[in-house]
Amino acid sequence: MGMNRMPLIAGNWKMNLDHLQAVAFVQKLHWTLKDAKHEDDSVEVAVFPPFTDLRTVQTLLDADKIAFALGAQDLSTKDSGAYTGEISGAFLKQLDCRYVIIGHSERREYHAETDEVVAAKVQAALRHGLSPVICVGETAEDLEKHGASAVPVAQLEAALASVAADADIVVAYEPVWAIGSGQAATPQQAQDVCAKLRDVVGSVLGADAAARTRILYGGSVKSANIAGFMREPDVDGALVGGASLVADEFAAIIRYQKHVGV
């Protein structure tokens, strides 16, 4: 974990929790952290609910002065118009979203999102003052065929095309072979790829951007393995899936600094 980068623990709810369940969950997470005397300023926490929950969660965060950042799971490449079912970055900005996940492996796989679509979505996010969480990663097949890091590096280079050097972006490395498998990458595997991704940010956006940009690991993250990842110099946080839906477990991940040896 780079000393000057605020760690980011991001909970991607995927297609889980309706807006009522979201209220109960966010309140429970908030009080679990409060009871544990968690210091809000040591780690940034972001939650990524489904679109139908965003307004409700925004209102709750405001009303209860809860210090979580809000993010969306996707956005349109377009800003407005005849695009049935699409969500504009302008709408997300109006809901105080700070972040938006772009190019998640599930979107790449199930919605055939190409590197070009991902790049256009990154541009759309930045146009509206949203920080894109740019997801890159490789499948087991990619790993065997191209070796570690080749695919995520190429994906990130494509996603950063036309991005300004001072843009506020986050990168998330998700080895697709690790997601939901229970089989996380080792901290060393995560570090190796995250270091190469930082090199890409440096070569495309410059040294300042490389030093400032947070790179997250995602893929079967749990409270039992988060501390090992966070010890690595180029891993600045985690994009958490299933474990982010369990308040006690997600709170324990957020409090990784209390685990032995971090």
Asked whether 70 and 58 are in contact (CB, 8 A), the reply is yes
Provide the greatest CA pair distance for the chain.
53
- Read off the tokens for 4: 């000057």
Name, in order, each residue with C-beta under 8 angstroms of 175's C-beta and a sequence gap of 6 or more.
137, 138, 143, 185, 189, 193, 219
* Residue found by looking up tokens 């490395």 in the block: 173
Q: In angstroms, rounded to a whole number, what is the distance separating the alpha carbons of residues 184 and 93?
A: 33
Residue 141 falls in the annotated catalytic set? no
Q: In angstroms, rounded to a whole number, what is the distance separating the alpha carbons of residues 160 and 101?
A: 14
Asked whether 51 and 70 are in contact (CB, 8 A), the reply is no
Which residue in the list 44, 113, 138, 174 is annotated as catalytic? 174
Which residue in the list 104, 113, 232, 249 is annotated as catalytic? 104
Residue 106 falls in the annotated catalytic set? no
- How many C-beta atoms surround the C-beta of residue 147 within 10 A? 10
Residues taking part in catalysis: 104, 174
